[in-house]
Amino acid sequence: MVDHHGFAWYELLTTDIAAARAFYGSVLDWESLDASTAGLAYDLFTVAKTPVGGLMDLPEQARRMGATPRWIGYVSVDDVDAVAGRIEQLGGTLYVPPTDSNIGRISVIADPQTATLALVEGLKINAPGPRGPAELDQTGRVGWHELLAADWKKAFAFYSGVFGWQGTEAETGPTDSYQLFSAGGRTLGGIFTKRPVEPVPFWLYYFNVGDVDTAMARVKGGGGRVFEGPFEVPDGGWIARCIDPQGAIFALQGKRSAENIRQAPAAEFGWSTGWGGFSSRGRLLVDEAGGKGRKPGRRN
């Protein structure tokens, strides 16, 4: 029985498995393990021999429907069929109905605002998940989950109703534009209303790295792109949003060396300002005079 409905697995659907394997191996120091079956080519991304994610080809049917490479998170549930049925009742869509797969019984869904997510029952892979969670700050693993929604209040109500996620407060107190959520007493991420520049709602996953500058350099060297950041968050960490060579969006979070900060200070404009003064971790950013969203790295 699942203790709580938290994220249990992550999968990259891509158009070039070999290239993606090499790219993420360089950026995140991941190794890979062939876990293919007779009917499916499938790789496992591993950290210290522990599986942390899967890699597979973006299905042809999905490509015909206009799907592009992406990361998808799996939420662990007790009964995929029942949860999938409830999602449909609440206005969501089943892209893949409940199906037995190589990792367990799964379903790929879209919430009522079209953000894609997946469900898994009986995860077969020995991966860090709700029944044995790894620490969220461990290098090479997902440390934060963020939903860029069309309407964050409606989105939070949906996920709370389906998975029982609870709202938690930011360190600076309650906010009216960024909702932190928790499962099993652990804060897992945040939900907020996306900017107009993001064309569709989507889930964004933050990978922990030892040094953000090193990881960004590897992203660029491997043919990917850093399109926002790095920006500082009040706990002293730094974040950056990236796109891999095939077009999948992901994010990095970690530390920067003092030398790199001096040589390339964070931009005054961009991510934090565009998000109404809130960092990716839902904490209020202020300038030295107390104004919102001008200078990252200070708390109210």
**How much is the pLDDT for 184?**
86
Task: Give the pLDDT confidence of 107-166 residue by residue, as tens digits.
Answer: 999 999 999 999 999 999 875 554 444 556 789 999 999 999 999 999 999 999 999 999
3-state helix/strand/coil string of the chain: CCCCCCEEEEEEEECCHHHHHHHHHHHHCCEEEECCECCECEEEEEECCEEEEEEEECCHHHHHCCCCCEEEEEEECCCHHHHHHHHHHCCCEEEEEEEECCCCEEEEEECCCCCEEEEEECCCCCCCCCCCCCCCCCCCCEEEEEEEECCHHHHHHHHHHHHCCEEECECCECCCCEEEEEECCEEEEEEEECCCCCCCCEEEEEEEECCHHHHHHHHHHCCCEEEEEEEECCCCCEEEEEECCCCCEEEEEECCCHHHHHHCCCCCCCHHHHCCCECCCCCECECCCCCECCCCCCCC
Please state the pTM of the whole predicted model: 0.86
**How much is the pLDDT for 39?**
84
Task: Give the pLDDT confidence of 75-115 residue by residue, as tens digits.
Answer: 999 999 999 999 999 999 999 999 999 999 999 999 999 99
**How much is the pLDDT for 129?**
52
Query: pLDDT-derived band of residue 175, with 50, 70 and 90 as boundaries?
Result: low
User: Which CATH class name applies to 142-274?
Assistant: alpha beta
**How much is the pLDDT for 135?**
59
**How much is the pLDDT for 65?**
82
Sequence-separated (6 or more) residues with CB below 8 Å from residue 132: none
The residue extents of the domains of the chain are 7-121, 142-274
Average pLDDT, the chain: 83
**How much is the pLDDT for 240?**
96
Domain 7-121 shares a fold with domain 142-274: yes
Query: pLDDT-derived band of residue 177, with 50, 70 and 90 as boundaries?
Result: confident
**How much is the pLDDT for 259?**
74
Q: Does residue 266 or residue 209 have the better pLDDT?
A: 209
- 7-121 maps to CATH 3.10.180.10: yes
Q: Please give the average per-residue pLDDT across 171-191, as a whole number.
A: 79
Query: pLDDT-derived band of residue 293, with 50, 70 and 90 as boundaries?
Result: very low
Query: pLDDT-derived band of residue 264, with 50, 70 and 90 as boundaries?
Result: low
Query: pLDDT-derived band of residue 283, with 50, 70 and 90 as boundaries?
Result: very low
Query: pLDDT-derived band of residue 176, with 50, 70 and 90 as boundaries?
Result: low
Q: What are 193's two structure tokens?
A: 């209303």
